[in-house]
Amino acid sequence: MSILYITGRNGHYQRGLGVYLNSITGSFSGISLDPVFLRQPFDEQVARIQSAIESSADHKIVANSYGGYLLMHALIDRSETEHDVLLLSPVFGKAISLESMSFSRPPGANRLLEALEQGRIAKPRHMEIHTGEVDHSCCPLLAAKFAEGIPADRFELIPGQGHMIDRPIVQGIIDDFITRR
């Protein structure tokens, strides 16, 4: 079994969650959304994710936060994909939090929402979305809308968790996802 890991913003695929993913599989690759990657124009970032997907046909894909956002863009107007996809705390567009007084609006947010509403996002063979119910970067209502619109095979709002889901919870989610099928 092989895993392609797409990190969150400023992540490195050989650190953090990547260390755990590498330890549980014999074949592991990744894309680091480090400052060098993020300096590329948005469409080039998406094209790089598309290229990685195409060259990783037999991989399960794990995408975290902004990596999930880029992955969703990479699936717009694509044919159905045979990948199993796990999204952890994915960004899906605008997020506003009065509690933390934060606002984010990633590039292409309207394009992604329109693609969802028009049914133009390719459905992976299996797709899971897991996010904290108090995530200020992944709006739970928007996550639910994507889970219904794709549709996701599994959607979980994790009680009491924010954007950085506790490590034991993440490891349990990954273990279930990896052993599936």
Contact 88, 124 (CB under 8 A): no
Q: Are strands 154-158 and 124-132 parallel, antiparallel or unpaired?
A: parallel
pTM higher than 0.95 for the full model?
no
Residue with the larger pLDDT of the pair 104 and 148: 148
Average pLDDT over residues 108-125: 93
Which of 131, 152, 125 has the alpha carbon at shortest distance from 53? 125
Q: Which residue has the tokens 């996701």?
A: 152
Binned at pLDDT 50, 70 and 90, residue 99 comes out as: low
**Banded model confidence at residue 76, pLDDT cuts 50, 70, 90:** very high
Q: How far apart are CA 78 and CA 9, in angstroms?
A: 24
What mean pLDDT do residues 57-76 have?
94
What domain range includes position 105? Answer: 2-179
Residue 103 has what pLDDT? 54
> Using 50, 70 and 90 to split pLDDT, how confident is the model at 141?
confident
- For the domain that residue 80 is a member of, what is the CATH number? 3.40.50.1820
Query: Would the pLDDT of 37 be above 60?
Result: yes
Residue of 28, 26, 23, 34 lying closest to 5 (CA atoms): 28
> Of 80-89, 118-127, 168-177, where does mean pLDDT reach its minimum?
80-89
Distance CA 137, CA 65 (A): 8
In one letter, which amino acid is 11? G
Query: Number of folded domains in the chain?
Result: 1
